[in-house]
Amino acid sequence: MALEFRPVAVAREAEPVGSLHEVREAGLDREDLLGIYRNMLITRGVEERGHILYRQGKIPGSFYTGRGNEASSVGVATAMGSDDVGTPLHRDMGVHITRGVDPWRIFAQFMGRADGPTKGRDGNVHMADPNLGLIAMVSHLPAMLPVAVGAALAFRIREEPRVALAWFGEGASARGDTHEGMTLAGTRKLPVVFVCDNNQWAYSTPTHLEFATEHVADRAQAYGFEGVVVDGTDVLAVYREAKRAIDKARAGGGPTLLECLTLRMEGHAVHDDAFYVPKVMFEKWAESDPIERFRSWLRANADMTDEEEDEISTGVKKLLNDALKRAEDSPMPDPADLLSGVYASVEDLDTPHHK
Amino acid sequence: MAELTYLQAISDGLRTEMRRDKRVFLIGEDVGVYGGAFKVSLGFQEEFGPWRVIDAPLAETAIMGACTGASMMGLRPVAEMQFADFVSCAWDHLVTVAAKQRWRAGTPVPIVLRLPSGGGFSGGPFHSQNPESSFAHIPGLKCVCPATPEDAKGLLISAIEDPNPVLYFEHKHLYRRIKGEVPEERYTVPIGKARTHREGSDLTVITWGAMVYTADEAAQQLDGDGVSVEVVDLRSIMPWDKAAVLESVRKTSKALVLHEDNRTGGFGAEIAATIAEEAFEDLDAPVRRIAAPDTPVPFSPPLEKAFIPQVDDVVAGLRELAEY
């Protein structure tokens, strides 16, 4: 008789968030909730306008969005402390927005302008403001996991109550960097939270061809820490689970692998029509749109009024329109500057990270 | 001044910086309790504790990535690859993350990677390589290859002070074989400055690492023929001291580039091309290269001897050049 292997879930599956009372318990007041909603709208708005810019031919190269991932990115970033650091990836625009990056600088980055955070040297979401505790990603996706582990190692060596957040997708979970980073973090019980945005597709590859367990988070047990699976379209549940994991890490309890089950409501990048994703899946995703889901929750549970909703969406529109204009006024980078900064000078060490 | 081996000088430099600057820490496989595969950090964990002398899992990617992250948080990591050969497992983090971070994102990555490199003792294809030219090709990385105990200490301190990722190639064949006077106090040797190992007027040998001694022995033999050979020890591969090389070549008019790494695409090719471009009018002979052949490093002694440039090979090359 052939042995049949059946994957068994070992990660904890988090409950959805219900009432306003429950949210208050988690430390969020009504203003915070409206702020989260606003950040989710800015996140999507930045990417929607970016897509338009791309179609207008104003963005060189390709363009990637995280549509469907707003609850995951904003929810986790909201749970971070001001001195915490993180390595968000290309579906995590909400982390940059929540940490406070000015949208006009993001548009400048998209268009390769001099005022983008990388001054035109890198594109897309390959950017980060170190003043906001963020480290710029590279295209080799899980490469940032060991980097976040290193930040956590620094906090442990200096005995600082700070936590590092490491983002990755379920696709990136296949590479050795993920294994090595989690091994080091687990053996040394470092203050790091691994956040897996499981959007169910690695470009065109579905999850069952990416990993053989039921959840990515099931692997956490093998590294000696807790794995949690949360509905990544429920921003409040994401926040609650991220807060628990971050608090635990800060208190010396070691890492957590938090898997957010999320959506990729568009192709891998704008050139990809995602023909390989079944149509019913897109229809189902549209019903679970994290922004619409949270909007309904706010109206039902936090009495968000029409006026408040209008005020927020009008404010976001104005912010983004002004940002676009300012970014389009930004000059292109000067080719004469190409050679500068390949090597750092001692003065460059005078950054927030190096204090 | 104390007389130290090359290996003791490396330990001395590292200990000096760890005592002076509490941001400096060491991470690597077996660097703690065991003191490192070659005992460079013997006794360090007792002195500095387990969180500044960190025994890492067998995971070079995690080691390099963690150094990058820790350096961005203000620490000064020194990582040891057990053998330079294993840096292939950390390539991505050095080349993709650390090397490019300052240029594209504005955040410096001050890390030192210690790489026990080189052959000569039947280490075989995976414990003998000299991969410096691969990294010299990557903008954003610095590469140093000290040959003497004095430079081993001074260049290590400079590397730790440097705000960039620095690959520190320490030649294993020099560890216990080479001794020299080393100042007891803290000092630095500038990265990117060559050293004249031996003055001469008829021919120039440009080399680094263990080949400095091979070149010197060959030069002694040429001295018997009445040919005066200058040996320039490059000490740093990236940045490299172009001015010192061109100055020596302009003086002697004949140049031989010598290295232990494979010939094709080795750093000697860059040096030879630069001499041809910038000192062509001063040359009395074509630039000559002596390097390992384009094979992996062999294990068995007669094969390894045929692979690594020997004194006789250099003597023959220099004689040909002298007669040209």
The CATH number linked to A201 is 3.40.50.970
- Which one of A96, A122, A147, A155 makes the best mutation probe of the B interface by having the most chain B beta carbons within 10 Å? A147
Q: Name the closest residue on chain B to residue A137, using Cα atoms.
A: B97
pLDDT, average across residues B83-98: 96
CA distance A178 to chain B (A): 9
CA distance B209 to B132: 11
Does residue A272 fall inside a structural domain?
A: yes
CA distance B108 to chain A (A): 6
Residue B187 has pLDDT above 50, yes or no: yes
With H, G, I as helix, E, B as strand and everything else as coil, classify residue A169.
strand
Does residue A343 fall inside a structural domain?
A: no
Does residue A110 fall inside a structural domain?
A: yes
Do the interacting molecules here have an ipTM over 0.85?
yes
CA distance A216 to A314: 39
Does residue B256 fall inside a structural domain?
A: yes
Residue B127 known to be catalytic: yes
The whole-angstrom distance between residue A95's C-alpha and the CA centroid of its chain comes to: 5
Query: Does B127 lie in the same domain as B155?
Result: yes
- Which one of B104, B113, B160 makes the best mutation probe of the A interface by having the most chain A beta carbons within 10 Å? B104
With H, G, I as helix, E, B as strand and everything else as coil, classify residue B29.
coil
Q: Name the closest residue on chain A to residue B49, using Cα atoms.
A: A157
Kindly report the number of other CB atoms within 10 A of residue B45's CB atom: 20
Nearest Cα neighbor of A91 from A5, A199, A185 is: A199
CA distance A18 to chain B (A): 38
Query: How many domains is chain B built from?
Result: 2
pLDDT along chain A (355 residues), means of 10: 55 82 85 97 98 96 94 98 97 97 97 96 94 95 96 97 97 96 98 97 93 95 97 95 97 98 91 91 91 95 95 98 98 96 91 58
Strands B229-233 and B195-198: antiparallel
What pLDDT digit, counting tens, does each position of B98-122 carry? 999 999 999 999 999 999 999 999 9
Q: What share of chain A is helix, strand, coil (3-state, %, to 5)?
A: 50, 10, 40
pLDDT of residue A9: 59
Select from B66, B110, B140 the Cβ nearest to the Cβ of A153.
B66
Query: How many domains is chain A built from?
Result: 1
Nearest Cα neighbor of A178 from A167, A163, A165 is: A167
CA distance B36 to chain A (A): 19
Contact B118/B130 with Cβ under 8 angstroms?
yes
Query: Does B171 lie in the same domain as B23?
Result: yes
CB contact (8 A) between residue A143 and residue B163: no
Does residue B187 fall inside a structural domain?
A: no
A-chain residues near B163 (CB < 8 A): 343-346, 348-349
Q: Name the closest residue on chain A to residue B138, using Cα atoms.
A: A342
Select from B57, B70, B110 the Cβ nearest to the Cβ of A153.
B70
Contact B208/B238 with Cβ under 8 angstroms?
no
Does residue B190 fall inside a structural domain?
A: no
Q: Which domain holds residue B285?
A: 195-323
Question: What are A11's two structure tokens?
Answer: 């990660």
Select from B61, B66, B107 the Cβ nearest to the Cβ of A176.
B61
Q: Name the closest residue on chain A to residue B29, using Cα atoms.
A: A184
Nearest Cα neighbor of A81 from A251, A212, A220, A201 is: A251
CA distance A283 to B227: 84
The single residue of B93, B127, B171, B197 carrying the catalytic annotation is B127
Confidence of residue B291 (pLDDT cuts 50, 70, 90): very high
CB contact (8 A) between residue B108 and residue A126: no
CB pairs under 8 A between A and B: 156
CA distance A341 to chain B (A): 5
Report the amino acid identity of residue B298. P
Query: Does B12 lie in the same domain as B98?
Result: yes
Residues in contact with A3: Cβ distance below 8 Å, sequence separation at least 6, in sequence order: none
Does residue A350 fall inside a structural domain?
A: no
CA distance A261 to A198: 5
Query: Does B177 lie in the same domain as B40?
Result: yes
Provide φ and ψ at B290, rounded to 5°.
-125, 125
Contact B110/B148 with Cβ under 8 angstroms?
no
CB contact (8 A) between residue B102 and residue A138: no
Task: Map tokens 């390709």 to a residue.
Answer: A62
CA distance B157 to B179: 19
Provide φ and ψ at B180, rounded to 5°.
-170, 170
Query: Does B230 lie in the same domain as B175?
Result: no
CB contact (8 A) between residue B74 and residue A348: no
Does residue A160 fall inside a structural domain?
A: yes
| CATH number of the domain bearing residue B123 | 3.40.50.970
pTM of the model: 0.96
pLDDT of residue A1: 44
Indicate the DSSP class of residue A349. Answer: G
Query: Does B199 lie in the same domain as B134?
Result: no
CA distance B228 to B216: 11
Does residue A225 fall inside a structural domain?
A: yes
Query: Does B176 lie in the same domain as B87?
Result: yes
Select from B75, B102, B163 the Cβ nearest to the Cβ of A157.
B75
pLDDT of residue A21: 83
Does residue B188 fall inside a structural domain?
A: no
- Which one of A338, A343, A346, A355 makes the best mutation probe of the B interface by having the most chain B beta carbons within 10 Å? A343
CA distance A207 to chain B (A): 25
Query: Does B17 lie in the same domain as B93?
Result: yes
Question: What are A7's two structure tokens?
Answer: 């994957």
Q: Which domain holds residue A136?
A: 29-329
CA distance A96 to A232: 18
Select from A183, A187, A349 the Cβ nearest to the Cβ of B163.
A349
A-chain residues near B64 (CB < 8 A): 146
The whole-angstrom distance between residue A197's C-alpha and the CA centroid of its chain comes to: 8
Query: Does B204 lie in the same domain as B164?
Result: no
CA distance A260 to A165: 14
- Strand-pair partners of A197: A169, A260
Nearest Cα neighbor of A193 from A247, A262, A236 is: A247
Kindly report the number of other CB atoms within 10 A of residue A12's CB atom: 16
A-chain residues near B66 (CB < 8 A): 146-147, 149-150, 153, 181, 184
CA distance A142 to A160: 25
| CATH number of the domain bearing residue B199 | 3.40.50.920
CB contact (8 A) between residue A136 and residue B56: no
Does residue A237 fall inside a structural domain?
A: yes
Q: What is the DSSP secondary-structure string of A46-68?
A: HHHHHHHHHHTT-S-S-----TT
With H, G, I as helix, E, B as strand and everything else as coil, classify residue A337.
helix
- Which one of B51, B73, B107 makes the best mutation probe of the A interface by having the most chain A beta carbons within 10 Å? B73
